[in-house]
Amino acid sequence: MSMIEFREVSKAYQSRVAIDAISLKVERGERVVLFGPSGCGKSTLLHLIAGLAKPDSGDILIDGELAATAGKNLQEPEQRGIGMVFQDLALWSHMTVAENIEFGLIAKRVANRERRQRVREMVDLVRLGDYLNARPGTLSGGEQQRVALARALATAPRILLMDEPLSNLDDELSLQMRQEILRLHYDIGFTLVYVTHSHNEAKELGTRTIRLRQGRIDSASNGAAA
Ligand SMILES: Nc1ncnc2c1ncn2[C@@H]1O[C@H](COP(=O)(O)OP(=O)(O)OP(=O)(O)O)[C@@H](O)[C@H]1O
């Protein structure tokens, strides 16, 4: 059973078609990189998987369960077991770094002690141990991205969606984060769908590259290495 399945999914914004009858299967543990020119539908595809957008037609299955169908979400985003790192998904500015990371764990009713331990592991992972009590507004762009990554991974999601998550980082930190993502993938075994314009990131992180063009899968490059 696939972890993510799209059956003839379409999505338009007003008259603009963002996703055009896409059928797609992503298997458990796969690391899929989405490529393609600006406006081809990459972010919309992630939003559909996450439940942040509804398909106009077609079905979306997550781990074999119908999560969305024409015009409605049958599973809310928080029911889908998905972690997200999107550029426009801001951190909560009134909360500390620790509280941001802890948020999903509270929602999942993880016990107090385990929560604190998990937050500690996550800040260490993204090398922000000294910033536990800082507010996001006092951090650099790159540091904020690392908090977002820690927040997304804290609940050990079965699917991790990332939309250009490393674009604000310098080369060295970007490399470290890519290694961390691969290590975590090995440890946790999540399914990754990753949007980037970087060939380096695609080559290192992807087990499969899918190129989108005008809301459709460009079949010439589906399955090819970056
Ligand atoms: N909320 C929205 N309202 C109206 N149109 C939208 C909305 N979101 C996306 N679109 C349109 O849908 C199409 C696909 O956009 P999308 O953001 O998915 O592309 P993308 O491949 O992620 O682009 P980029 O690489 O620039 O981030 C574009 O034509 C865009 O203008």
Calculate the dihedral angle through the C-alpha atoms of 117, 118, 121, 123, rounding to the nearest 10 degrees. Answer: -110
Q: Mention every residue, 6+ apart, whose C-beta is less than 8 A from residue 55.
A: 9, 10, 11, 19, 48, 68, 69, 70, 71
Is the same domain home to 111 and 40? no
C-alpha span between 22 and 7 (Å, rounded): 7
Q: Ligand 1, atom 12: nearest CA belongs to which residue?
A: 18
Mutate to test the pocket of ligand 1, among 9, 11, 16 (most ligand atoms within 8 A of CB): 16
Q: Which residues line ligand 1 (CB under 6 A)?
A: 13, 16, 18, 36, 38-44
Q: Ligand 1, atom 1: nearest CA belongs to which residue?
A: 13
Cα 213 to ligand 1 centroid, rounded to whole Å:
12
Is the same domain home to 1 and 76? yes
Give which of 24, 21, 7 is closest to 60, Cα–Cα.
Answer: 7
Q: Dump pLDDT digits (tens) for 74-127.
A: 999 888 999 999 876 579 999 999 999 999 899 888 999 999 999 999 998 888
Q: Dump pLDDT digits (tens) for 59-68.
A: 999 999 999 9
Q: What is the mean pLDDT of the chain?
A: 90
- What are 49's two structure tokens? 């998987």
User: Has residue 219 got a pLDDT over 80?
Assistant: no
Is the same domain home to 162 and 152? no
Q: Ligand 1, atom 4: nearest CA belongs to which residue?
A: 13
C-alpha span between 82 and 153 (Å, rounded): 9
Point out the domain boundary residue: 156, 181, 208.
Answer: 156
> Do 210 and 217 touch, CB atoms closer than 8 A?
yes
Checking ipTM against 0.95, whether it exceeds it is yes
Is the same domain home to 97 and 186? no
Q: Ligand 1, atom 6: nearest CA belongs to which residue?
A: 13
- By residue range, what is the domain housing residue 145? 93-156
Cα 26 to ligand 1 centroid, rounded to whole Å:
22
Q: Dump pLDDT digits (tens) for 169-201.
A: 788 878 888 888 898 888 878 999 999 988 888
Classified as helix, coil or strand, 201 is helix
Q: Looking at the domain assignment, is residue 152 inside a domain?
A: yes
Is the same domain home to 122 and 163? no
* Model pTM score: 0.90
